[in-house]
Structure 1
Amino acid sequence: MNKHSKYILSIAAAATFTVSGCTKNFEGYNKDPYGASNDDLLPDYGLVVGQLKEAQRSIYVYQPAWVTQLQQNLMGDVFGGYMMSPTPFRGNSNNLTYDLVDGWNLFALSPAYSSPEASVMAPLSNVTLITKTPAPDLYAMALILKVEAMHRVSDIFGPIMYSKYKVRAEDGGYDYDSQQEAYTNFFKDLSEAITILTPLRTQKPTPTFVNADLVYKGDYGKWLQFANSLRLRLALRIVKADAAKAKSEGEAALANAGGLLSKASDNFSVDIGATVHPLNTISGAWGDIRMGAPMESILKGYNDARLPKYFAPAIDNAVKGQFKGIRNGIDIDAKTRYQDYSALVDLPSKLQLLSAAEAWFLKAEAAARGWANAGNAKDNYESGITTSFNQYGVDASASAYINDATSKPAPYIDPKAITPGQNDIKDGNPNLSTITIKWNEADNFETKLERIITQKWICIFPDGQEAWSEFRRTGYPKLFPVVINNSGGKISTSVFIRRINIPPDEYLTNPKGVDRAIKTLKGPDNGGTRLWWDVQ
């Protein structure tokens, strides 16, 4: 294990000692996170700009890279089927083999509230408190950012501190929203922000809004499109849990005059300047992440022109020159076994959180469900593919790809497997998808849904958190189950991991609040319990 991996393990092991729980000293750091009063902030909004920038950079923490590794990479990026680590952390008993590491998983929670590296709720709470009347555009930005950040946290843990943030209960604890309550409040906040931005969408932005915006350089119209697209994403997320609410919110997003993201240049991607994308460090400098087997199976099977845009050919002598992924949750004796499989191609210094291609696929699913103003499912589906191909500069291949009615995901073979049973996924195996690419209007809804989600999964790379959420919601794309399951029976191999347990730090620092929070779950506080929206 290289020095970076050792550093990760030492940090993770010490997490409960070096980073306080997000509710420890809660009242103090939430009242005054910047040591500035409202009077200090109001004159030129200089500190408000700083807080909005901090929140944008904290949704997906980009530095130090080891925080990204723990916040998402050794969780959603792997659980969503995109990647796998060649490194046998903790003797190969870790998140990737379903032995959930509390010290790692704390970092999926702490940046949302307050940590040495990042914070979302503290600065945004301060911004919304003082900008609603004098600066509604900044207020709207803060609401949208809050939803974008916190729905990701809720989709990991379930209950979160959101509407009750900073509010102490009578017994001294701090209460969580159940996930259902959180989503209700997400829609409320998005609706309010959309109402503010809709009449502003063609107006010149204020200098303060421009200075605060790390995505669109102050374009109100683009922020409105992002808010509508995010609203549609979350509406579809809850479609099995509350179909009526999902339809109402989705149709509201589709009906708004601002529209959805539609071109690759519309992607909601946070600019991190000259900073190297953390995945470049984790894959390149550290060698701690490689392509996942599902990516190999699906992209190679489809002859997808985006494959070399995502990953590099392997340099391992056993598979040299091939695009080779690692199956999740397998027996790994040493890092050297798989470290020369396909690494990630270097990503630009932007953190993509919602793409225009995804918005087209959201619209395709909405159309397939018969929602108003969604247009035609086939047209939306094909627009999603062409938009993604355009994003990666492979436009010339889009037409042939869209009209390919025969290619299917390819069987996966691991020539270096240790454990029998992990070395191939043969034709006919239920975990190997048989879905083709070309749209067929005669297909039933479920087949259409698998086709839409499989293509959406490809296009939203490398956002593994969203990929994992959509896999849990729909079961698509079909992924390969872990071979080694170290959960002690808490997580089903065939059902896959459904969530992350609330870190022990929270039990220590906010026991009464956590006790109430876990009672809102469908089962025990472990990785096998489904979230509210995760309906079988």
Structure 2
Amino acid sequence: ILVKKYRNHSQKRVFFASWETYFLLAEAALRGWTTPTSAKEAYEKGIKASLDYHGVSSFYDTYIASTDYNRVGTSVKWDHTAEPPATVEVDIIDGYTNQAAKFAYKFPVASQTSYKKALNDQMTKVITQKFIAQNPWLPLETWNDYRRLGLPFFENMVVENPLTNLPAITKDNVKTTQQPDFFPQRLKYPASLENSNPEGYKQAVELLGGTDAVLTPLWWARH
């Protein structure tokens, strides 16, 4: 149903929305750069712009005041930066017995994530809300943010057998750490470029500082 809402919606496709500008301003302000607004104000305006677009602005006040942690330990409220506990008890329905039960859910360990600094600091909040707002239109922007910041947090993929294209991730380290080469870093140059302009292709690869491969990090990405 949700897929059809976006595929068949009368609204035009989004390439650069107002909420992205606000979240970029929030990030810049957090970095101490000169901005026309505070990080908190830009952050909350970004959320409001996204909710307005989706027609759910009536939930705005409740949403920005929320101190509930999502499944990766991040809350919405700007000034709520307390880290989540190691575990939290949640109510579940057992899938085998269909009976109500309790489950001790473990939050990720911040130091083992690609970002490493925290699960609930203000930069994490900005990029998390930016990720939510950008869906479903701009997944490549989320990929860019993850490569340069390690945010938003994503679980490591499950590995049962070695992955030819991602050799760094194994069944032994998948549950204990994250590192940049667990995820694709770039798109390879099109084969047509190598065939039609071999000299230009050679120069482009030299500037990469590595091979023309998906795991070669770009200069601005985390290494």
Structures share a fold, TM > 0.5?
yes
Aligned to 2:49: 387
Cα deviation 1:116-154 (Å, max 9, x = unaligned): xxxxxxxxxxxxxxxxxxxxxxxxxxxxxxxxxxxxxxx
Q: Could you tell me which residue of structure 1 aligns to residue 24 of structure 2?
A: 362
Letter in 2 for 1:488: T
Supply the distance in 2 between the matched residues of 1:371 and 1:441 (Cα, whole angstroms): 23
Mapping for residues 98-177 of structure 1, pairs under 5 Å = none
Distance 2:78 2:130 in 1: 14
Contact kept in structure 1, 2:149 and 2:222, CA below 8 Å: no
3-state secondary structure, aligned to 2:14:
strand
Could you tell me which residue of structure 1 aligns to residue 122 of structure 2? Answer: 448
Task: Say whether 1:437 aligns with 2:72.
Answer: no
Alpha-carbon separation, structure 2, partners of 1:367 and 1:354: 20
Displacement of 1:367 in angstroms is: 1.1
Residue 442 of structure 1: CA displacement? 6.2
Identity %: 29
Cα distance in structure 2, aligned partners of 1:441 and 1:374: 23
Q: Is the 1:407–1:436 Cα contact (8 Å) retained in structure 2?
A: yes
CA distance in 2, matches of 1:515, 1:374: 43
Q: Distance in 2 between matches of 1:519 and 1:442?
A: 43
Query: 1:498 aligned to 185, 208, 214, which one?
Result: 185
Partner of residue 530, structure 1? 217
- Alpha-carbon distance in 1 for matches of 2:28, 2:82: 16
Decide whether aligned partners of structure 1 residues 534 and 497 sit closer, same or farther in structure 2, where only a CA change above 3 A counts.
Answer: same
Partners of 2:12 and 2:168 in 1: how far apart?
36
Instruction: Output the amino acid matched with 2:54.
Output: Y
Across the two proteins, how many residue pairs are aligned to each other? 173
Letter in 2 for 1:394: V
Tell me by how many angstroms 1:348 deviates: 3.2
2:110 corresponds in structure 1 to none
Distance in 2 between residues matched to 1:492 and 1:348, nearest whole Å: 44
5+ long unaligned stretches in structure 2: 84-116, 170-177
Q: CA deviation at 1:436?
A: 1.0
Task: Choose between structure 1 and 2 for higher RCO, CA contacts under 8 A separated by at least 6 residues.
Answer: 1
2:43, 2:126 within 8 Å by CA — same for their partners in 1? yes
- Write the distance in 1 (CA, Å) between the matches of 2:52 and 2:186: 34
Deviations 1:402-426 (A, max 9, x none): 00012313xxxxxxxxxxxxxxxxx
Which structure 2 residues correspond to residues 404-423 of structure 1 after superposition, within 5 A?
404-409=66-71
Query: 1:258-290 CA distances to partner (integer Å, 9 max, x unpaired)?
Result: xxxxxxxxxxxxxxxxxxxxxxxxxxxxxxxxx
2:15 to 344, 353, 362: 353
Distance of aligned partners of 1:496 and 1:516 in 2 relative to their CA distance in 1, 3 Å threshold: same
Partner residue of 2:154 out of 469, 472, 479: 479
Instruction: Give deviations 1:218-254, integer Å, cap 9, x for gaps.
Output: xxxxxxxxxxxxxxxxxxxxxxxxxxxxxxxxxxxxx
1:491, 1:377 → 2: CA distance?
39
Using the size of structure 2 for normalisation, the TM-score is 0.69
Q: Is the partner of 2:13 in helix, strand or coil?
A: strand
Q: Distance in 2 between the 1:476 and 1:501 partners?
A: 23
Matches within 5 A, 1:86-485: 312=2, 343-346=3-6, 347-348=9-10, 350-409=12-71, 433-440=72-79, 447-461=121-135, 462-483=137-158
Match of 2:164 in 1: 488
1:520 to 2:192 alignment: no
How far 1:458 sits from its partner (Å)?
A: 0.7
Larger radius of gyration, structure 1 or 2? 1
Given the alignment of the two structures, is residue 510 of structure 1 paired with residue 172 of structure 2, yes or no? no
| Alignment RMSD | 2.5
TM-score, length-scaled by structure 1? 0.30
Q: Distance in 1 between matches of 2:132 and 2:37?
A: 22
Following superposition, the deviation at residue 487 of structure 1 comes to 5.2
Show CA shifts across 1:484-503 (max 9, x none): 58752556445311111112
Unaligned runs of 5+ in 1: 1-310, 313-342, 410-432
TM-fit CA distance, 1:344: 4.6
SS at match of 1:352: coil
Partners of 1:489 and 1:438 lie apart in 2 by 39
CA contact (8 A) 1:366 1:374 kept: no
What is the SS of the residue equivalent to 2:216? Answer: coil
CA contact (8 A) 1:491 1:527 kept: no
Q: How far, CA to CA, are the matches of 2:49 and 2:133 in structure 1?
A: 9
Task: Give, in angstroms, the shift of residue 522 of structure 1.
Answer: 3.0
Q: Which has the higher helix share?
A: 1
2:67, 2:80 within 8 Å by CA — same for their partners in 1?
no
* Cα distance in 1 between the residues matched to 2:48 and 2:153: 23
Change (3 A) 1:486 1:385: same
